[in-house]
Chains A and B, each alone.
Chain A
Amino acid sequence: MQIQTGLEAGVEGTVLKAEVRDLDFHYGAFHALKRVSMPIYDRRVTALIGPSGCGKSTLLRCFNRMHDLYPGNRYSGGGIVFHPDNTNLLAPEVDPIEVRMRISMVFQKPNPFPKSIYENVAYSLRVRGMRNKNELDDRVESALKGAALWNEVSDRLKELGANLSGGQQQRLCIARALASDPEIILFDEPTSALDPIATASIEELVTELKEKVTILIVTHNMQQAARISDYTAYMYLGEMVEFGVTDQIFIKPTKKATEDYITGRFG
C-alpha cells in the first residue's frame, strides 16, 4: 500500500519496520486520530511533534495497545502493520500482551517500580518467564550498560530505584524497556520532567540506541526532534500534516502549516 506522506521513498538502505495505515482512534465520542498514516523505519529515530492535544501521544500509545487498558477507547479504523511478519498490531485477535512484549515504552515521568534497581530491570524478563539467575544477571547488566547506567549503579543494585536522581531513574526505565530486546521502543516525552544535563544524557542515549532498536519518540521540544531524529512527523488536530526526513521538515517543509509551527508562528 502506498503511504500518503509526501515522502516518495525512504532514504537508501532503510527498511520498513512498521506502517500506520489510515488509523482512526476514538476516546468515547471524541475522534482523536483521523486517518493517520506514516512509515516507521527500522533502526531509525522517528519523532512525533505538534502542539498539545494534536494526538501525538495518542498515536504513540496505539503502538503498544496502552489504550486497551481503559474503557471507551476504540481503534475505529485502519491499523498499524508490523514488519517483517505483517501483523496488524491493532487487530482484535492480536493479544495486546504479545504486542507489549515486542514494543516497549518509556514514559514521560520516570516511573521505576518501588523495587530494587536490579528488580526493576529484571521485571520485563521475569514476565517472560526467565528464572535462571545467571541469565537474569547477564541480561540486567547488559541492559544497564545499554542505558549508560551500569557504571553508576553496579555496586548498589539492591538499592531502591526511587533513590536515584531523576535522570538516572529515567535511564533505569530505559534499561527496563531495553532488557527484553524489544523491536521498537516508544518514548513519550521522556525528558520533559528532567533538567538540561539529564536531558542531554537521555538524548545521547537515544542516538546510541538506534544502532540496535527502532525508536519512536514524542516530544514537545522541536530542537530535541531536530537534534536526535532521522524522521519527523508533524501532527495537528489528530491529523498527520507532514512526514519527512527531519532535515527536510525543518529546513524546507512542503506544507505551510508545518512551516508556521516550526518557525514558532503558531503553537
Chain B
Amino acid sequence: MLKAADLGAIRAIITRAKRWDLFFAVLGLLSLMVGVLTFTVLFLDMAIQGVPRLSLDFFTNFPSRRAENAGILSAWVGTILVMLVTALAAVPLGVAAGVYLEEYAPKNWITDIIEINISNLAGIPSIVYGLLALGLFVYYFGFGQSILSAGLTLALLILPVIIVATRESIRAIPQSIHEGSYACGATTWQTVSDHILPYSSAGILTGVIIGMARAIGETAPIITIGALTFIAFLPPMPFAGDPAAGMFEWIFAPFTVMPIQMFNWTSRPEAAFTVNAAAAGFVLVFMTLAMNGLAIYLRYHLRKNIKW
C-alpha cells in the first residue's frame, strides 16, 4: 500500500531528475544556435553587402580592373562547364564502382582493403588531389590548364562520395527484394538494372548532388592546376566562330570558376571589389542551395513509388 509520504518522495525524485532534462535541453539549444546563428550572420552580411550589386550586367560582364564594370560571366560559365565535366566523369565511374563492390566483388581481403581506402579517400585534403591532377592531367596526359583537367580533378575528389552514397543506397534495399529477383531466375546484371539501380537511384542522386555541391566551392585544387584568375573571354562554343570550333574544343579552353573569382576580388585593396566578392559569394551559395533543392525534389519524386 502506497503511503502519502512515499508519493511525496517519489515526486521529489522526479522533479530533481527532470532538472537535468531542462539543463540538457538548454545546452543543446545553445550548441545548435552557435552553428545556426553564425551561418545566418555570415550569410546576411554577405547578402546585405552583395545583393544590391546584383544586376544583369554583373552576370554578363567579364572581370574588369574597374570594380563597377566587373562581372562574373567567365566565372559562372566556367563553373557550369567544369561541373558538367565533373558530373559526366564522376557519376558513371562512381555508380559503376559502387555497384561492383556491392553486387559483384568477391568478399575477400582485397575487397576489404579497397573498401577501407575508399572511405579514407574522402578525407584526403583537396590540395593533394590538385597536386596529383597537376602531374597527371595537366602534364602527363597533356590536357593543360583546361576545363577538362579541372573537371576531372573535381571528379576524382567527389568519386569517393558517390561510391559511398551508391553503396549505402544499395544496402538500403531489403534483402528480400534482392532474393526475390534472384529467385525469379534473374542474373546479377538483370537484378542490378531492373531492381537495384531503379530503387537506389534516389539515394545515389542525392549523393551525386552533395558531391557536386562540395565540388562547386572547391578552390585549392583548381588553383593548383592553374586556373586563371582574370579571364576576359569564354570557351569556344561548339561549331561557332571563325574558323568554326569543334564539338569539344571548349574542354581544352582556359577558364576560371566562381570561388577563384571571389578569391581574386577579396585580395584587392579597393572596397568596391569586396562588394563584388560578396555578390559573387551570394550567387555561389544560391547555386549550391539550388542544387540541394533539386536533390530534395528528385528524392521525393523518385521515392514516391517505392515502398517495401
Contact = CB atoms under 8 A, between A and B. Distances in A.
A107 B307 contact: no
Interface string B185-197: 1110010001100
A128 B177 CA distance: 19
Given A71-B107, A127-B190, A113 B185 contact: no
Contacts of A107: 176, 179-180, 183
Counting contact residues on chain A (CB < 8 A from B), the size range is 20 to 34
A246 interface: no
A162 B307 contact: yes
A241 interface: no
Contacts of B179: 66, 69, 107, 111
Nearest to B178: A69
Interface in B75-113: 106-107
A88 interface: no
Interface in A127-141: 127-128
Contacts of B182: 66, 69, 100
Nearest to A65: B182
A180 B195 contact: no
Contacts of A114: 177, 199, 305-308
Q: Which 10 A/B pairs are nearest by Cβ-Cβ distance?
A: A111-B176, A162-B307, A101-B185, A124-B184, A105-B183, A100-B185, A114-B306, A111-B180, A71-B107, A127-B186
17 contacts: A64-B183, A66-B182, A69-B179, A100-B182, A104-B185, A107-B183, A109-B176, A113-B195, A114-B306, A123-B186, A123-B194, A124-B185, A126-B194, A127-B187, A127-B190, A160-B305, A163-B307
Interface of A: 64, 66, 69, 71, 97, 100-101, 104-105, 107, 109, 111-114, 123-124, 126-128, 160, 162-163, 173, 176-177, 180
Interface of B: 106-107, 174, 176-187, 190, 194-195, 199, 305-308
